[in-house]
A = this chain, B = another copy of it.
Amino acid sequence: MCRWLAYSGSPVLIEELLYKPKHSLIDQSLHSRLGATTTNGDGFGIGWYGLGGTPGLFHSVEPAWNDRNLRELAGHVSSPLVFAHIRAATGTPVQQTNCHPFRHGNWLWMHNGGIRDFQVVKRDLVLAVDPSFYPEIEGSTDSETFFYLALTLGLKEDPPKAVQDAVGFIEATGRRHGVTHPIQMTVATTDGESVWAFRYSSEGSSRSLFFSTEVNTLRMLYPDDARVQMLSDEARLVVSEPLGSLVGAWNELPESSWGVIQPGRDELHSFEPAKAAVPA
């Protein structure tokens, strides 16, 4: 499927996130350990907040491991909030408009997993997208349709509710078409301030998702580690798989849960798809 990373904290050069860690996302593009596929070479994307009215996007159809422009960008752009995604396509074409993260105004969205039998349910799902959002759908992935369903269901007002409603609707639609386990997902979304992360699958066996331990705790655990001591208080990472093997640094998000990284106290809740969500 895919692998992704979300960072929120003090501004860092993007290469610190993508290239420097031992089992970095770039390394995962060739050698994923926990993913459904070991190679994630069907394009990639990054989104970052900084200058400009909306987050910046860089999408490429080339494998991340050898993309020179990605390395240049990562080495010359710094940001306090970065989304990065490497893709292993599952049927839809390898093209920039199918690369994550997707953007709508100030929001970013990325997804690992899939809507099962998407070709069967796609028309019903797309029809449920608000007509005002419809023309913005540029690619052909399940992930982008999922994003616009969530927007239709109020992502900008209440992200956890909107995603739980969208998943409820996708499950109801899939089951109506005879799909047993309609969705498999880890999702990250952000408005540029908070980052919401979701882990869920209809079959109760979801793709892996980890978040980094709070920096205060890490500092106490590793009083002599210069790299850890340098991290800002608020720095947090959410990742498909740990970027290294530092003991105590990574916590798995529980099955069927969501969390939010935000100014103030972070939160963790259980994820419950809406039973009968029907977009108006």
A30 sits at the interface (CB 8 A): yes
A interface residues, tally (CB under 8 Å): 47
A78 sits at the interface (CB 8 A): yes
Give the residues in chain B near A126, CB-CB below 8 Å.
126
A1 sits at the interface (CB 8 A): no
Asked whether A69 and B59 contact (CB < 8 A) given A51-B13, A96-B93, the answer is yes
CB distance B135 to A122 under 8 Å? yes
CB distance B123 to A131 under 8 Å? yes
Task: Write the nearest CB–CB distance from A273 to chain B, whole angstroms.
Answer: 25
A72 sits at the interface (CB 8 A): yes
CB distance A122 to B94 under 8 Å? no
CB distance B50 to A93 under 8 Å? no
CB distance A61 to B62 under 8 Å? yes
Taken residue by residue from 61 to 92, chain A's Cβ proximity to chain B (1 for < 8 Å, 0 otherwise) reads as 11100101100110111100000000001000
Contact of A138 among B59, B138, B140 (CB under 8 A): B140
A127 sits at the interface (CB 8 A): yes
Give the residues in chain B near A122, CB-CB below 8 Å.
134-135
Contact of A13 among B38, B41, B52 (CB under 8 A): B52
CB distance A76 to B95 under 8 Å? no
Closest 6 CB pairs of A and B: A56-B76, A119-B135, A95-B95, A52-B76, A52-B75, A41-B41
23 contacts between A and B (CB under 8 A): A13-B52, A38-B38, A39-B41, A41-B41, A42-B63, A42-B66, A52-B76, A56-B75, A57-B68, A58-B69, A58-B73, A59-B68, A61-B62, A63-B63, A66-B89, A77-B77, A93-B95, A95-B95, A95-B97, A122-B135, A126-B126, A127-B127, A137-B140
